Amino acid sequence: MSAGHAAAAHVISAEVGETHFTVHIGDGQIAHLGSLWAERAAGEQALVVFDGNVAGHAEAAAASLREAGLRTVMAEVPPGERSKSLSELDRLCREAARAGIRRADAVVAVGGGVVGDLAGFLAASYLRGVRLVHVPTTLLAMVDSSIGGKTGVDLPEGKNLVGAIWQPSLVVMDTATLDTLPGRELSCGFAEVVKYGLLDSPELFDRVEGWPAPLPGPAGPLLDLIRDCVRHKLDVVSQDERETGLRASLNLGHTVGHGIEAAAGYERYHHGEAISLGLLAALRIAERIRGLDPAWRDRTRTVLERHGLPTRLDPEVRTPDILAAMGRDKKADSTALNMVLVDEPGVVLLRQDPPADMVISAIEELRA
Amino acid sequence: MSAGHAAAAHVISAEVGETHFTVHIGDGQIAHLGSLWAERAAGEQALVVFDGNVAGHAEAAAASLREAGLRTVMAEVPPGERSKSLSELDRLCREAARAGIRRADAVVAVGGGVVGDLAGFLAASYLRGVRLVHVPTTLLAMVDSSIGGKTGVDLPEGKNLVGAIWQPSLVVMDTATLDTLPGRELSCGFAEVVKYGLLDSPELFDRVEGWPAPLPGPAGPLLDLIRDCVRHKLDVVSQDERETGLRASLNLGHTVGHGIEAAAGYERYHHGEAISLGLLAALRIAERIRGLDPAWRDRTRTVLERHGLPTRLDPEVRTPDILAAMGRDKKADSTALNMVLVDEPGVVLLRQDPPADMVISAIEELRA
């Protein structure tokens, strides 16, 4: 903790739905969590939800909260996607009840996407809604899952099938937590960063394209990069919280990506790796439907490869299985398969039900 | 089903939060459910949630939906409060997933408060929110639980501790379902009707006071009575969906009532019976704090007794247990015990932390 770190932090004020909140991005921000929360909080307690991989960060967060005068209760969940279940939610709700958590108190989610999604749904549903603070400790959670209010758990029938839209009251991103993150997890987060480059503007794409290996990269520019990804997502989500239109653009690379992830049984590819492949497939389809300049796909492939992300599809993951998994996505969400396409970075459109042969050949070309 | 019935139905247009919906109240309305839903629905399927006590009504609702061109999937839950659990929610979510329920499809809750609360939370959380239709089949569900959007389940640590605020897209009340309702359940619903009389106006109180036994009473005036209770609740809820202020007025009689219900282990007294006692205690406290004319309490007691509701507290339900249960309510919701008081019917105020001796003596006087 140092005043210098705090001074260098970015602060973004956001308004989504009826919720106003701030996002703080800086090196060493966890040490300031308590004072940032105490500035706005009426509550007296915090339930800190975390997994064993980030026990140290969770303890630092709790210490900062206690220093600011809050009582803290620690709730550890097992690491990994299997914790995103209704039975784990049940267990956490009972912990909240025994701790006497009230509506003005906070659930503080310290960790990556799994902890954030689970603790977020806990905050949305316990007492029909208590305050939520996100302390994302992975690059993926910082640029993506801690922003936008999507919370939820999985069913055996599919991922994220049960949940709520629930906005945090505060988000504190401490880039120091990225220093100990495994390289594979950093890469996965970077796949979403590449997505923002394509969605946002040629200017952001250029910065993403030039990002040096190894991740996470130089400290000052890293804060700016995360800030600009967060700003892009907040801008979209504030216009379309419940994904009736524009928000679907954030799914660039996710239509085919989810299909690959599911067809490979969620083991072979982590989420960001599947998105890496999905981005390339989406760009290929955009070339055929929209006449996107193929140079963008070449440049995207180069930057993905530089940061250790897959750009060739494992031949053992079969195309029919990918298509079947994409069909299940379609069934749950709407009557149509929605594909996000780009004309160039920053010019995005949604295309319902793209021709099946184009989707199939884009997947096949990932094997080349 | 008859056109005559349909013509006599009341229709209330409501707007709560961002949700617009209509409430239909009439004799034989279930037969019109399908056409009412098809008028507004984009979806193709309905998941009909019900318990064994109302299997006939659920089948009638499903038949009407099928007649209007929807596919229906039946999801039966065991009758009784124990179905309000996260494990039952889990089971229903998996049924929804296997049935391929989409966001535009409807969860249709046919039954009383338990089914409505559980199915409502299912609708709120499956795919982070699908459409919800309430078909309340008890007087309590018609005048109270189907209106206002509170949904949820219980924990071993307390009732309604997990849930969501989720408004229905349509509410269809068929008073024919009341004809076969056990007398005790009708009485429980009537306790809430008496509450609305006290909250709304001397005029509504007069109509409630003059209501003849046995329940449910004469058909035409019954539709008007239910309509006016629903209107009162909608008026309050549309101003304060998340209960930050005004909505708390609907808890008249519930502070002490919940305490009695919990202290008696949810067996000795059904909810409405506990509210009957709670209303009398609240009026007694209002006499002492606000100078309420004691005649209102006498008149209230008379109408409660006429409809078979308890006005004397079982000596085996101990005052310290009631106070302890009230304290647990307080802990979960806010830092203060909130008591709703009336100066006269229609003039309502909230009082935080009323003097403990007044609460205790009001409970003791219920034993006299």
DSSP string, B10-69: EEEEEEETTEEEEEEEETTGGGGHHHHHHHH---SEEEEEEEGGGHHHHHHHHHHHHHTT
Q: Which of A97, A124, A156 sits opposite B161 (nearest CB)?
A: A97
Q: Which of A102, A164, A335 sits opposite B331 (nearest CB)?
A: A102
Instruction: Please give the DSSP secondary-structure letter assigned to residue B77.
Output: E
Residues with Cβ < 8 Å from B334, sequence gap 6 or more?
Answer: A102, A103, A104
Which whole number is the average pLDDT over A45-64? 98
Q: Which of B94, B100, B157 sits opposite A94 (nearest CB)?
A: B157
Q: Say yes or no to pLDDT of A249 above 90.
A: yes
| CA distance, residue B97 to nearest chain A CA (Å) | 6
Residues with Cβ < 8 Å from B222, sequence gap 6 or more?
Answer: B175, B178, B216
- A363-367, B196-200, B245-249, B274-278: range with lowest mean pLDDT: B245-249
Using a CB-CB cut-off of 8 Å, the residues of chain A touching B117 are none
A121-163 confidence digits (pLDDT tens): 999 999 999 999 999 999 999 999 999 999 999 999 999 999 9
Closest CA to B330 of B268, B235, B236, B259: B259
B53-76 confidence digits (pLDDT tens): 999 999 999 999 999 999 999 999
Q: How far is CA A156 from CA A159, A306, B149, B187, B303, in A?
A: 8, 35, 28, 43, 52
Residue indicated by tokens 């997890």: A185
CB-count burial class (<10 Å; 0-12, 13-18, 19+) for B328: middle
The angle subtended at Cα A209 by Cα A203 and Cα A211, nearest 5°, is 110
pLDDT at A244: 86
Cα–Cα distance measured from residue A177 to residue A141, given in angstroms and rounded to the nearest whole number: 12
Helix, strand or coil, per DSSP, at residue A268 = coil
pLDDT at A368: 85
Cα–Cα distance measured from residue B133 to residue B65, given in angstroms and rounded to the nearest whole number: 12
Q: Say yes or no to pLDDT of B335 above 80.
A: no
B128 counts as catalytic: yes
CB-count burial class (<10 Å; 0-12, 13-18, 19+) for B116: buried
Closest CA to A203 of A319, A346, A76, A69: A346
Judge: A94–B332 Cβ closer than 8 Å, yes or no.
no
Catalytic residue, from B98, B128, B157, B316: name it: B128
Q: Say yes or no to pLDDT of A295 above 90.
A: yes
pLDDT at B93: 98
Q: Where are the beta strands (DSSP E) in chain A?
A: 10-16, 19-26, 45-51, 71-77, 106-111, 131-136, 150-155, 158-165, 170-174, 338-344, 347-352
Q: Say yes or no to pLDDT of B284 above 60.
A: yes
Burial profile A323-342: b = 16 or more Cβ within 10 angstroms, e = fewer: bebbebbbebbbeebbbbbb
Helix, strand or coil, per DSSP, at residue A227 = helix
Closest chain B residue to the Cα of A335, Cα to Cα: B102
pLDDT at B334: 62
Using a CB-CB cut-off of 8 Å, the residues of chain A touching B152 are 125, 128
A174-212 confidence digits (pLDDT tens): 999 999 999 999 999 999 999 999 999 999 999 999 999
pLDDT at B115: 98
Instruction: Please give the DSSP secondary-structure letter assigned to residue B8.
Output: H
Closest chain A residue to the Cα of B335, Cα to Cα: A102
The angle subtended at Cα A129 by Cα A123 and Cα A135, nearest 5°, is 30
Angle at which helix A219-239 crosses helix A202-209, to 10 degrees, equals 140
pLDDT at B42: 78
Angle at which helix B356-365 crosses helix B319-333, to 10 degrees, equals 130
Cα–Cα distance measured from residue A9 to residue B263, given in angstroms and rounded to the nearest whole number: 52
Catalytic residue, from A88, A95, A192, A273: name it: A192
Chain A, 88-107: which have a CB under 8 Å from a chain B CB? 89-90, 93-94, 97-98, 100, 102-104
Using a CB-CB cut-off of 8 Å, the residues of chain B touching A150 are 128
Query: Binning pLDDT at 50, 70 and 90, where does residue B332 land?
Result: low
Domain coordinates of chain B in residue numbers?
A: 3-180, 188-365
- The 3 state secondary structure assigned to B281-312 is HHHHHHHHHHCCCHHHHHHHHHHHHHCCCCCC
A330 counts as catalytic: no
Using a CB-CB cut-off of 8 Å, the residues of chain B touching A242 are 128-129
Cα–Cα distance measured from residue B255 to residue B330, given in angstroms and rounded to the nearest whole number: 9
B57 counts as catalytic: no
Q: Which residues pair with B131 in a beta bridge?
A: B106
Residues with Cβ < 8 Å from A5, sequence gap 6 or more?
Answer: A26, A27, A28, A29, A31
Is B203 within 8 Å of B155 (Cβ atoms)?
no
Q: Which of A97, A126, A333 sits opposite B102 (nearest CB)?
A: A333
Using a CB-CB cut-off of 8 Å, the residues of chain A touching B151 are 128
B18-29 confidence digits (pLDDT tens): 999 999 999 999
| CA distance, residue B337 to nearest chain A CA (Å) | 13
Judge: A128–B156 Cβ closer than 8 Å, yes or no.
no
Q: Which of B93, B100, B128 sits opposite A155 (nearest CB)?
A: B93
Q: Say yes or no to pLDDT of B4 above 50.
A: no
Cα–Cα distance measured from residue A301 to residue A307, given in angstroms and rounded to the nearest whole number: 10
Query: Binning pLDDT at 50, 70 and 90, where does residue B1 land?
Result: very low
Q: What is the mean pLDDT of chain B?
A: 94
Q: Which of B94, B104, B335 sits opposite A156 (nearest CB)?
A: B94
Q: Which of A121, A161, A335 sits opposite B93 (nearest CB)?
A: A161
Cis peptide before B354, with omega less than 30 degrees from 0? Answer: no
Tell how far CA B53 is from the center of its chain: 18
pLDDT at A6: 44
Query: Binning pLDDT at 50, 70 and 90, where does residue A331 land?
Result: low
Q: How far is CA A318 from CA A45, A281, A313, in A?
A: 50, 15, 9
Which whole number is the average pLDDT over B94-102? 96
Q: Which residues pair with B162 in a beta bridge?
A: A126, B153
Using a CB-CB cut-off of 8 Å, the residues of chain B touching A102 are 331-335
| CA distance, residue A222 to nearest chain B CA (Å) | 33
Chain B, 8-47: which have a CB under 8 Å from a chain A CB? none
Cα–Cα distance measured from residue B274 to residue B65, given in angstroms and rounded to the nearest whole number: 37
Chain A, 139-198: which have a CB under 8 Å from a chain B CB? 150-152, 155-158, 161-165
Judge: B335–A100 Cβ closer than 8 Å, yes or no.
no
Is B285 within 8 Å of B362 (Cβ atoms)?
yes
Using a CB-CB cut-off of 8 Å, the residues of chain A touching B125 are 121, 125, 152, 162-164
Interface mutation vs chain B, best among A90, A153, A241, most B CBs within 10 Å: A90
Chain A, 126-145: which have a CB under 8 Å from a chain B CB? 126-129
Tokens of A107: 């659930």
| CA distance, residue B331 to nearest chain A CA (Å) | 6
Q: Which residues pair with A164 in a beta bridge?
A: A151
Using a CB-CB cut-off of 8 Å, the residues of chain A touching B157 are 94, 97-98
Q: Which residues pair with B351 in a beta bridge?
A: B339
pLDDT at B76: 98
Closest CA to A75 of A12, A122, A14: A122
Residues with Cβ < 8 Å from A63, sequence gap 6 or more?
Answer: A34
Closest chain A residue to the Cα of B97, Cα to Cα: A157
Q: Which residues pair with B54 in a beta bridge?
A: none
Judge: A334–B104 Cβ closer than 8 Å, yes or no.
yes
Which whole number is the average pLDDT over B82-95? 98
A243 counts as catalytic: yes
Query: Binning pLDDT at 50, 70 and 90, where does residue A327 land?
Result: confident
ipTM surpasses cut 0.90: yes
Q: How many CB atoms lie within 10 A of CB A193?
A: 25
B243 counts as catalytic: yes
A159 counts as catalytic: no
pLDDT at B331: 54
Using a CB-CB cut-off of 8 Å, the residues of chain B touching A17 are none
Residue indicated by tokens 């519930």: B254
pTM: predicted TM-score of the whole model, two decimal places: 0.95
Report the top-level CATH class of B188-365.
mainly alpha
A251 counts as catalytic: yes
pLDDT at B44: 92
Sheet of A45-51, strand order: A10-16, A19-26, A170-174, A131-136, A106-111, A45-51, A71-77
A217-247 confidence digits (pLDDT tens): 999 999 999 999 999 999 999 999 998 889 9
B176-235 confidence digits (pLDDT tens): 999 999 999 999 999 999 999 999 999 999 999 999 999 999 999 999 999 999 999 999
Is A207 within 8 Å of A197 (Cβ atoms)?
yes
Q: Which residues pair with A348 in a beta bridge?
A: A342
Cα–Cα distance measured from residue B343 to residue B253, given in angstroms and rounded to the nearest whole number: 14
Where does A3-180 sit in CATH, by number?
3.40.50.1970
CATH 1.20.1090.10 at A183-237+245-365, yes or no: yes
Is A2 within 8 Å of A8 (Cβ atoms)?
no
Kindly state the percentage of chain A with pLDDT values over 90.
Answer: 91
A331–chain B Cβ distance below 8 A for any pair: yes
Cα–Cα distance measured from residue A146 to residue A230, given in angstroms and rounded to the nearest whole number: 9
Angle at which helix B113-125 crosses helix A113-125, to 10 degrees, equals 150
Q: In terms of DSSP H, where are the helices of B161-316?
A: 183-200, 202-209, 219-239, 254-263, 271-290, 294-306
pLDDT at B8: 74
